[in-house]
């Protein structure tokens, strides 16, 4: 049994990947410590919380780093498993001077992220893109242990990073316990559970709803209040939802922790993944695909590489032309009008989720990875 310290500087309370990771570590029989700004959570019993007050601004960030460093020393863990780009230099130095194994968990394509983040000024995006690329390659070469969520992230880290684990961001099988088997009795509702930003298809979803509702009024649309700090986008979509076309048929639902999302999925007939055709989305594997599968509802997704693989191999839905309001609308209307076919697609997705795509199905490889690192061996997966 090892003592594993999970560290995040900016992820919000009950972040889905961190929540699932802490559960896995405990399930595998290891001690788990979480260094974060989270309050102690009743949903993570027996987890040891080392909490710091999250500060903003330049001086605040320096204080955050110092607090994380102090708590990391206090934790005296066997492995430090950290999750944020901003603390990559800190934990590279921590490894150099402390010699304890550290793992950089890269669950975003950060170099692509800086090119599209709305709050980053355009003038510094390209220089920041190259800075992130160089930093990740240099630091990963030193610390040697990286976990990635998609294979394309291998290009972001050093070729000399010897311990690499591909650990995909599947949904947890625990959400199956609250799934309702009442598909036939549901109203015609299309649900978007993704985070709200333009590249993820938030505005496209609104336009799809407007287009369909200009043709027929028997379909409802819902999305989740997951706007983060992007208040302008939230106000825009709230304004649209009260407009003539959407009023009464478009709703923004309460943001719930990932393990409670089934509450919303249980009310839907179709799950939508309207990712835009931009590099960040082309390389991504949307977690919402697996959450829809777990709910047993058919999916309409952008015809991007990862979406295509999961939709075609599971038979769990239909693919639409990326960025096309008309194509998405056509697929949604088809599923609404062909209920039995839609229901069968949902069943196919559910069966494939249970067999192949649960987060827990990766526990064995995660435990093997930790143990090999503790023994000082390499365990990079084949390309």
In the chain, the percentage of residues whose pLDDT exceeds 70 is 98
Please tell me what DSSP assigns to residue 376.
Answer: T
- pLDDT, mean of residues 249-260: 93
Cα separation, 200 vs 195, whole angstroms: 7
- How does strand 189-192 pair with strand 317-320? unpaired
Cβ neighbours around 346 below 10 Å, total:
24
113 and 144 belong to one structural domain: yes
**Residue at 380 is within a domain:** no
Token reading at 297? 């509802």
Same domain for 144 and 220: no
Does residue 47 sit within a domain? yes
Is the residue at 383 inside a domain? no
Query: What's the helix, strand, coil split of the chain in %, to 5?
Result: 50, 15, 35
Helices vs. strands in the chain: H and E counts, helices first: 14, 13
37 and 135 belong to one structural domain? yes
Residues 210, 330 within the same domain? yes
User: For the chain, how many structural domains are there in total?
Assistant: 2
What is the band of 168 on the pLDDT scale with cuts at 50, 70, 90? Answer: very high
Across the range 91-114, mean pLDDT stands at: 93
In this prediction, residue 371 carries a pLDDT of 95
pLDDT confidence bin for 243, thresholds 50/70/90: confident
* Same domain? 241 vs 261: yes
Sign of CA dihedral 194, 252, 353, 24: positive
Name, in order, each residue with C-beta under 8 angstroms of 5's C-beta and a sequence gap of 6 or more: 32, 33, 34, 35, 72, 75, 77, 79, 80, 81
pLDDT at 148: 97
pLDDT in tens, 262-283: 999 999 999 999 999 998 899 8
Q: Are residues 284 and 264 in the same domain?
A: yes
Print the domain residue range for 107. Answer: 3-170+359-374
In a domain, 115, yes or no: yes
Is pLDDT above 60 for 252? yes
Domain shared by 84 and 51, yes or no: yes
> Tell me, what CATH number does 97's domain have?
3.40.50.2000
- 383 pLDDT band, cuts 50/70/90, is very low
Give the pLDDT of residue 46. Answer: 84
Mean pLDDT (the chain, rounded): 94
200: in domain: yes
Instruction: Say which DSSP state 278 is in.
Output: S
187 and 232 fall within a common domain? yes
Residue 208 lies in a domain: yes
| 234 shares a domain with 121 | no
3-class secondary-structure state, position 173: helix
What pLDDT, on the 0 to 100 scale, is given for residue 242? 86
The stretch 202-219 carries a mean pLDDT of: 97
Q: Which of these, 200, 151, 189, 330, lies nearest to 268 by C-alpha position?
A: 189
Is 382 within the bounds of a domain? no
- Is 166 domain-assigned? yes
pTM above 0.85, yes or no: yes
Q: What is the pLDDT of residue 377?
A: 64
Rounded Cα distance between 245 and 267, Å, is: 22
Do 194 and 166 share a structural domain?
no
Residues 283 and 342 in one domain: yes
- Between the two ends of the chain, the Cα-to-Cα distance in Å is 30
Taking residues 163-180, report their average pLDDT.
96
Asked whether 5 and 79 are in contact (CB, 8 A), the reply is yes
Distance CA 71, CA 217 (A): 55
- CA distances to 22, 78, 243, 312 from 72, rounded to whole Å, are 16, 11, 51, 44
What pLDDT does 382 receive? 41
Same domain, 99 and 202: no
């Amino acid at each position: 049994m090892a003592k594993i310290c999970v560290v995040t500087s900016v992820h919000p309370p009950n972040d889905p990947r961190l929540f699932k990771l802490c559960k896995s570590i405990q399930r595998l029989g290891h001690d788990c410590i979480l260094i974060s700004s989270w309050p102690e959570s009743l949903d993570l019993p027996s987890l040891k919380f080392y909490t710091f007050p999250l500060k903003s601004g330049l001086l605040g960030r320096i204080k955050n780093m110092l607090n994380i460093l102090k708590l990391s020393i206090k934790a005296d863990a066997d492995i430090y498993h950290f999750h944020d780009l901003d603390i990559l230099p800190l934990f590279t130095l921590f490894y150099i001077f402390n010699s304890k194994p550290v793992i950089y968990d890269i669950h975003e394509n950060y170099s692509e992220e800086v090119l599209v983040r709305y709050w980053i000024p355009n003038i510094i995006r390209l220089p920041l893109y190259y800075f992130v690329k160089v930093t990740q390659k240099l630091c990963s070469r030193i610390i040697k242990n990286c976990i990635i969520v998609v294979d394309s992230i291998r290009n972001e880290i050093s070729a000399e990073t010897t311990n690499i684990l591909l650990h995909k961001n599947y949904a947890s099988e625990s959400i199956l316990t609250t799934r309702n088997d009442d598909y036939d009795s549901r109203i015609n509702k299309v649900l978007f559970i993704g985070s709200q930003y333009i590249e993820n298809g938030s505005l496209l979803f609104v336009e799809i709803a407007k287009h369909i509702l200009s043709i027929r009024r028997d379909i409802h649309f819902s999305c989740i209040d997951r706007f983060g700090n992007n208040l302008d986008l939230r106000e825009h979509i709230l304004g649209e939802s009260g407009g003539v076309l959407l009023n009464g048929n478009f709703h923004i639902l309460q943001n719930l922790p990932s393990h409670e999302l089934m509450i919303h999925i249980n009310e839907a007939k179709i799950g939508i993944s309207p990712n835009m055709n931009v590099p960040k989305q082309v390389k991504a594997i949307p977690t919402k695909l697996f959450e829809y599968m777990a709910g047993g509802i058919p999916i309409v997704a952008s015809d991007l590489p990862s979406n295509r693989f999961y939709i075609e191999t599971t038979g769990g839905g239909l693919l639409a032309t990326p960025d096309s309001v008309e194509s998405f609308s056509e697929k949604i209307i088809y599923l609404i009008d062909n209920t039995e076919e839609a229901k069968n697609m949902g069943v196919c997705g559910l069966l494939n989720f249970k067999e192949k795509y649960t987060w827990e199905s990766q526990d064995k490889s995660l435990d093997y990875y930790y143990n090999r690192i503790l023994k000082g061996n390499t365990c990079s997966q084949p390309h």
